[in-house]
Structure 1
Amino acid sequence: MQTMHRRPIPSTGELLPVIGCGTWQAFDVRDGAPLVPVLEELFAAGGSLVDSSPMYGRAEAVAGALLGRMESLDRAFVATKVWTSGRDAGIAQMERSMALLGKTDLMQVHNLLDWRTHFETLRRWKDEGRVRYLGVTHYTPTAHDALEAAMRAEAMDFVQLDYALDDRAAERRLLPLAADKGIAVIVNRPFGGGGLARRVRGRAVPDFAAELGCDTWPQLLLKFILGHPAVTCAIPATANAVHMADNARAGCGPLPDEAMRARIAASFAS
């Protein structure tokens, strides 16, 4: 089995596997038992990042329960978010999330909601060792100006943003800024919210995909994302173990250079 690539978190040098698992919708279920194979595939492939949010319904509780049942907290890099306004409300929500998940390596301010207030708490918690990393998130190009302002105004370890073959706005300013400021990048919509996968369904992958070790379009679409040197990890959400295994394969083997990324983009457009 090939080894999944890992990239350094700039603020510490800790290596993070390049493919993780998002939990939006996928883990918002009453019975988490069918999701055990999803996490097993993630860990078997060398992945570690499991990302959630209190915005995702039952997802935090389900992910935390599964990680505990599987005795996999030590293998997981657990990320979640705070999604409320006000200092006290933020503290209460974050403490609940941390209890549900069993641990929190990365706490992010979801969609920048009252991010300055929450960063005051998170800076203190980081100093105290309650969280290891802090960051901000958003999921749409219309928020990129606000993300850029936050990245310039505040020291942070991570930014989570949208980036896909059909959503390349982050290339203009955010990805170069993250590289310049030493901020790790998590990509939260690598399939363009699912639209990309639907557009290539039934289409054969181009012949050159074999040069990257890819035999499916999802792998190729993820390789395109990982080919950007500023990207640290992509977190496609899935409740399907077969899809998780397929996604994880994109984190192994050759990654595309700019010339190959251009070939991928041209093939998709054609």
Structure 2
Amino acid sequence: MGGQWGDLDQDTAICTVKAALDAGVTFFDTADAYGLELGTSEMLLGRALRGSGDNVRIASKVGNWGRRLGIPMEITHPLHIQPFCDATLYRLGRDTVDVYFCHLGGQTQADIWIEGFERLVKQGKVRTWGVSTDRLDVLEAFNRNGQCGAVQLDYSLVNRSAEAKLLPYCLQHQIAVVVRGPLGMGLCSGRYTPESTFNDQVRQKWNEGPGHEKMSQRLSVVERLRQLANRRTMAQAALQFVISHPAVTVPIPGAKSIEQATDNAAAGSLGPMDEAELAWVREVTG
């Protein structure tokens, strides 16, 4: 929501969220730095979920506001996090954010963040906190006292690297795993070919050079998995694979239409893949 993933008018964005909600989705993810205009994603999500009840959970992230603006805005004191949190709550129209992530995936100096997050928990503004990262050393730093409640990491049919260290660590330490990119930024949907081009801010890098080479490699993996769509959509198969890992708590697939939102939500009723299918998928994806 907010335009970074291409043209999507606000009414369609709100209707898409409401469709997901109607289909049984109760966990939504955003960040203060999401949107071509910063804060737009939180604002639209808050508007879409207004009056949705107490069973809906929202995660947001903090730390990338300055980078998106091109202005140095480092968190150098625990109290620096609070105004960002207050602004997030205002845009969401809520008193509490359920999961609050540090958005800086390379941040190994975690003490300031931990203290800042714990202050917000005591104030009732945050229920639990964590870090969005694909690095074990970063997660270990945030969990140095066993306080980290959640991690957001990349995991999909086309990127299984989290299986090596991150997911086992989360199982061992009972850290909730929120999976971003469970559809491989859309590649696992089966809708794209190596000739596809993108005009959105996030995927323009795939149009040429190393980005295009990486995209083509991942699409070749998806092509070898086509038979998964015999009794479900490719997107549903991709989500089913992700939730089959015992460490995964919830995936957060993107959707740009009511149809995509309801298709994604339907994957939840499929349950985990059976062991035979999982073994085949692992063999094909390497």
Q: Residues of 2 paired with 1:136 and 1:24: CA distance?
A: 22
Q: For residue 60 of structure 1, report the CA deviation from its aligned partner.
A: 0.9
- For 2:139, which of 131, 147, 152 is the aligned residue? 147
Equivalent position of 1:110 in the other structure = 103
Q: Residues of 1 paired with 2:238 and 2:9: CA distance?
A: 31
Q: Residues of 2 paired with 1:145 and 1:178: CA distance?
A: 13
Change (3 A) 1:148 1:184: same
- For 2:43, which of 61, 85, 97 is the aligned residue? 61
Equivalent position of 2:58 in the other structure = 78
1:27-106 counterparts in 2 under 5 A?
31-56=9-34, 57=38, 58-68=40-50, 71-72=51-52, 74-83=54-63, 84-86=74-76, 87-103=78-94, 104-106=97-99
Q: Is the 8 A contact 1:226 1:233 kept in 2?
A: yes
Q: Residues of 1 paired with 2:45 and 2:56: CA distance?
A: 11
Change (3 A) 1:41 1:268: farther
Q: Is the 8 A contact 1:106 1:132 kept in 2?
A: yes
Q: For residue 54 of structure 1, report the CA deviation from its aligned partner.
A: 1.2
AA aligned to 1:184 is: A
Equivalent position of 1:10 in the other structure = none
1:195-237 CA-to-partner distances (Å, cap 9, x unmatched) read 333338899942x666xxx421000011010100110000012
Could you say what secondary structure the match of 2:33 adopts?
helix
Change (3 A) 1:55 1:166: same
Structure 1 vs Structure 2: percent identity of aligned residues?
29
AA aligned to 1:79 is: A
Equivalent position of 1:9 in the other structure = none
Find out whether 1:128 has 2:145 as its counterpart. no
Could you say what secondary structure the match of 1:54 adopts?
coil
Q: Is the 8 A contact 1:53 1:60 kept in 2?
A: yes
Q: Is the 8 A contact 2:224 2:284 kept in 1?
A: no
In terms of Rg, which structure is larger?
A: 2
Aligned residues: 238
Q: Is the 8 A contact 1:165 1:224 kept in 2?
A: yes
Equivalent position of 2:152 in the other structure = 160
Q: Residues of 1 paired with 2:184 and 2:8: CA distance?
A: 27
Q: Residues of 2 paired with 1:48 and 1:181: CA distance?
A: 25
Superposition CA RMSD, Å: 2.8
- Structure 2 unaligned blocks of 5 or more: 64-73, 193-218
* Greater displacement, 101-110 / 178-187: 101-110
Q: Residues of 2 paired with 1:122 and 1:28: CA distance?
A: 33
Could you say what secondary structure the match of 1:167 adopts?
coil
Equivalent position of 1:185 in the other structure = 177
Q: For residue 259 of structure 1, report the CA deviation from its aligned partner.
A: 2.9
1:165-217 CA-to-partner distances (Å, cap 9, x unmatched) read 121111111111111111110000112223333338899942x666xxx4210
TM-score by length of 2: 0.73
Could you say what secondary structure the match of 2:157 adopts?
coil
- Structure 1 unaligned blocks of 5 or more: 1-22
